[in-house]
A = this chain, B = another copy of it.
Amino acid sequence: MSNQVKYLLDENDIPKEWYNIMADFKNPPIPPLHPGTMQPVGPDDLGPLFPMELIMQEVSTERYIEIPDALRDIYRQWRPSPLYRARRLEQALDTPAKIYYKYEGVSPAGSHKPNTALAQAFYNKKEGVKRLTTETGAGQWGSSLALAGAFFGLEVEVFMVKVSFEQKPYRKAFMESFGATCHASPSNLTEAGKAILAESPDNSGSLGIAISEAVERAVQRDDTKYALGSVLNHVLMHQTVIGQEAIKQMEMADDYPDIVVGCTGGGSNFSGIAFPFLGEKLRGGKDIEIVAVEPANCPSLTKGRYAYDFGDTGKMTPLVKMHTLGAGFIPPANHAGGLRYHGMAPLVSQVVHEGYVRPTSYHQTECFAAGVTFGKAEGILPAPEANHAVKGAIEEALKCKRDGVEKTILFNLCGHGNFDMAAYQNYASGLLTDDDYNDQELAMALAGLPKVA
């Protein structure tokens, strides 16, 4: 029996800077538009929602942005996170491929999300904010912001997509243990929520709706700002600690990936692992393949349109150029709640559009099967979202076996599945289904995309 090989960095190897991929783009990033004027959004437009330091990070084109020491001190609780060579998985698959995974489940909330939650709480606290509102899908983001709120003494109010709220009651208990409040979305607490409930009282919610509610609550109070767990440039940038560490760890292993795999919902964990490697490629480094794996029933990259769209259902956010299924698209109920978003981060969309990233999609039951195979070999049951990355990596490894080639595959295991055992239970009992989206509903949502010149 082979075992994993663990590559552990020293605390001094926690990155001192975040990496900003915009600095290495051949084409400039495409600006967001103000929903009223349809003109590019300036920093001041974002003032009611975010503290100024995060806004400056959002629009920066500097390649590196310093991570405050006080924040690196907090990261030290679990960073640098381990990188493993999955020898037992390789053996189980009988593949000539070498499989590595970066494991973000060691964070106190069990996923990569605290990397940005703590950063956002840090800057909000610094600017005197008292209260943060946010949305959450599966609950990983809400849990992470609740934790950050407890550390920094900020109140946190979370709007959780109703279908996940009902599937995962323990996530609410987790957030509340850290002192946060958590509402099922759509709720009766906001105009956006009320409007949707009036139209469809049984609405199961979506990230787009929850964002509308959280944004509405934030703009109502001066001492309150909004925090987003993915999609935005600064959020993706905070996650680049993952890939920067992985580059050093691959050096320790005296190896370099041929293929980097991540799962995509809003795009944050994917960017975290992929952008530092893609940056090296853009600056003339090795011509690696990068694979983004999304759920087949919420396929923004593989079936969406690359167009300007709203980030939320209530059309309160700026418009961004992204791969989108339309802000009105409600994905089928799906345990990989963190991947149920109608759009995709503009930066991820742009690198997909420009051909640097290959998008692919899988159904959830085949992803759970991959997760169980991984778990038996490596001892970790992944979060349902992470199962998509596992599936993507296993497919690449099996292709290596068919082709008889030894490639090096690296994927991001963005979180553990400890809070998702109900889904594993359903999977084991054959109760998990692959509900597809409705073609007609998708066509309607796409037809509703805003007309932008």
Known: A76-B6, A419-B418. A176 touches B428 (CB 8 A): yes
From 335 to 383 in chain A, residues with beta carbon under 8 angstroms from any chain B beta carbon are 372, 375-381
A106 to B105, CA, bound (A): 10
The 8 Å CB contact of A73, one of B3, B147, B151, is: B3
**A81: min CB distance to chain B, Å:** 11
Specify the chain B residue showing the minimal Cβ separation from A368: B177
* A25 part of interface (Cβ distance < 8 Å): no
The verdict on A178 contacting chain B, using a C-beta distance below 8 Å, is yes
A47 within 8 A of B: no
Residues of B within 8 A of A152 (CB): 1
Residues of chain B within 8 A of A378, CB atoms compared = 108
* A88: B residues at CB distance < 8 A: 151
Q: In this assembly, does A8 line the interface, its C-beta being within 8 Å of a C-beta of chain B?
A: yes
Residues of B within 8 A of A438 (CB): none
CB of A179 within 8 A of chain B?
A: yes
- The answer to whether A170 and B108 touch (CB under 8 A), given A147-B379, A379-B151, is no
A424 CB-CB contact with B under 8 Å: yes
- Give the distance in Å from the alpha carbon of A376 to the alpha carbon of B150 in the complex: 6
Residue from B3, B171, B178, B379 in contact with A150 in the complex, judged by beta carbons closer than 8 Å: B379
Are A372 and B177 within 8 A (Cβ)?
yes
Nearest B residue to A74 via CB reads B3
A174–B424 touching, CB < 8 Å: yes
| Option from B1, B76, B108 in Cβ contact (under 8 Å) with A3 | B76
Chain B residues with Cβ under 8 A from A421's Cβ?
169-171, 173-174, 419
Q: Does A4 contact B (CB under 8 A)?
A: yes
A311 within 8 A of B: no
In the complex the two chains form, is A424's CB within 8 Å of B177's CB? Answer: yes
Copies assembled: 2
| Chain B CB within 8 A of A193 CB | no
Residues A170 and B376 in contact, CB atoms below 8 Å apart: no
Question: A379 contacts which chain B residues (CB < 8 A)?
Answer: 77, 108-109, 147, 150-151
Contacts of A422 in B (CB 8 A): 170, 173
In the assembled complex, the Cα of A109 lies from the Cα of B379 at a distance in Å of: 8
Contacting residues of chain A (415-453) with chain B, CB-CB under 8 angstroms: 416, 418-419, 421-422, 424-425, 428
Cross-interface CB contact of A178 among B6, B177, B376, B425, cutoff 8 Å: B376
Q: A232: shortest Cβ distance to chain B, in Å?
A: 24
| Complex Cα spacing A42 to B140, Å | 53
| Interface presence of A205 (CB below 8 A) | no
Chain B residues whose CB sits within 8 angstroms of the CB of A150 once the complex forms: 375-377, 379
A106, A169, A170, A422: which has the most chain B beta carbons within 10 Å?
A: A170
> Does residue A11 face the partner (Cβ distance < 8 Å to B)?
yes
Q: Nearest-CB distance from A111 to chain B (Å)?
A: 12
Map CB proximity to B onto A1-45 as digits: 1 under 8 Å, 0 otherwise.
Answer: 101101010010000000000000000000000000000000000
B-contacting residues, A108-131, CB 8 Å? 108-110
Judge whether A108 and B380 touch: CB under 8 Å. yes
In the assembled complex, which residues on chain B have CB atoms less than 8 Å from the CB atom of A381? 174, 177
A147 to chain B, nearest CB (A): 5
User: Taking the nearest CB of chain B, how far is it from the CB of A365, in angstroms?
Assistant: 14
Is the beta-carbon distance between B4 and A77 smaller than 8 angstroms?
A: yes
Least CB distance, A156 to chain B, in whole angstroms = 12
Chain B residues with CB under 8 A of A377: 150
User: Beyond A3-B74, A169-B425: 7 further Cβ-contacts under 8 Å?
Assistant: A3-B73, A88-B151, A109-B379, A173-B428, A174-B381, A177-B372, A418-B419
List the 4 closest pairs (A to B, CB-CB), nearest first.
Answer: A170-B421, A108-B379, A418-B418, A173-B425
A-B contact pairs, 5 of them (CB 8 A): A4-B77, A8-B11, A106-B106, A170-B424, A176-B428
Interface, chain A (partner B; CB < 8 A): 1, 3-4, 6, 8, 11, 73-74, 76-77, 84, 88, 106, 108-110, 147, 150-152, 169-174, 176-179, 372, 375-381, 416, 418-419, 421-422, 424-425, 428
